[in-house]
Amino acid sequence: MLGPGIPIGRIFGIRIYIDPSWIFIFLLVTWNLAAGALAVVHPEWGTTTIWLVAIAASLLFFGSVLAHELAHSLVARSQGVPVRRITLFMFGGVADIEREPPSPRAEFLITVVGPLTSLVLGIVFLVIGTAIAGISNLSIYNPEGLLAQLNPLSTIFLWLGPINIVLAVFNLVPGFPLDGGRILRSIIWAISNNLRLATRIASFIGQAIGWLMILAGVAMIFGAHIPFFGTGLVSGLWLIFIGWFLSSAASQSYRQLVIHHILEGVPVNRIMRTDIPTASPYMTIEDLVRLLLINSDERSFPVVEEDRLVGLVCIEDLKKVAREEWPIVPVSRIMTPRDKLITIGPNDDLAKAFEQLARIDVNQLPVVVGDTLVGLLRRRDLLRWLQIHSQIAR
């Protein structure tokens, strides 16, 4: 699962993030364009022009990837599936959709629009680039001469066109969780009426394709020439990396679905703790340590006032105050206040709770009815429940 990343804005109300790995791939693509193709074909442009064209082409390429993910997200919302965010990362982009589509038809529509968007963008870019370059100057029989005649603007568009078409084709590979794998899953789901079975089959095919990429990458390192991917150490290692990522993502996607099915429909009050020690907002930090932390294996405590949840204090919060001030500083000074906490209700299901714990990366969720604290859901209790029931389900 990708971390939150670096926020860069919102489009259609959807938050857009950049994962740190994106910076690496952006620099790599820009470097390959500037130091490779452009420097060889257009040495007369000069260093500044070459790098500006390379940067512009890279930015527009990742803009195309963003358009691909936005298409997924907008159709998902039209099908009633909420979208948390879109994150650009090393292998392109991912739309963080909150739950599985409600039907095979919805999944098909949500998925197919992505490759279609890339295909349309590719065709549009080719048409624009061709128009700018002048049709009379283009010849498929003399590609080197063609490239040498292009100006910077037509070069950008005629590079973006084919690469978007390649992106569309690659995403249609039937390896889950690629778009092609999700389309395959929607078809199997429609035939079998069993989402878990469809995901298992699509995930297995995704893992198989991932391992084929890994084996092909190893063969490329030892001199084999693979159509489209080429040969050599760098290309081979890159294909191995992509194959490993695809295989891991396919396996993880199936595990997440199994987890969701085990937890769905089980209320939080089934495993929440009700006999939990609580802190007062008026007790000193010294008393918090002496009365609660030393006598318990808990690392955080709800802060309550007359049964009302007013905050949460964790052992890490002790760092906010110097040790010599502990006897005089109240817990209310260091706690996380109620309005900044994520809480859950006792009748909410554990699938929702699991998503909340994973999304905000905390170890507990206060369980409340209104403002009244009725329990505490701990990550370790949920994981223990999951472990027991996943073994039974085998």
Q: Which residues are catalytic?
A: 69
Residue 391 one-letter amino acid: Q
Question: Is 261 annotated among the ligand-binding residues?
Answer: no
Report yes or no: 247 and 206 within 8 Å, Cβ to Cβ.
yes
Question: Is 68 annotated among the ligand-binding residues?
Answer: yes
Q: What is the DSSP letter of 178?
A: S
Question: Is 275 annotated among the ligand-binding residues?
Answer: no
The closest alpha carbon to 335, from 284, 379, 275, belongs to 284
Separation between Cα atoms, residue 319 and residue 312, nearest integer Å = 15
Dihedrals φ, ψ of 222, to 5°? -95, 15
Separation between Cα atoms, residue 110 and residue 185, nearest integer Å = 12
Phi-psi region of 29 (alpha: psi -120 to 50; beta: other; left: phi over 0): alpha
Burial (CB < 10 A; 0-12, 13-18, 19+), residue 121, is buried
Residues contacting residue 121 through CB under 8 Å, at least 6 positions apart = 64, 67, 160, 164
Q: What angle do CA 8, 338, 96 make, to 5 degrees?
A: 35
Residue 13 one-letter amino acid: G
Separation between Cα atoms, residue 62 and residue 90, nearest integer Å = 11
Binding site as annotated, residues for Zn(2+): 68, 72, 179
Binding site as annotated, residues: 68, 72, 179
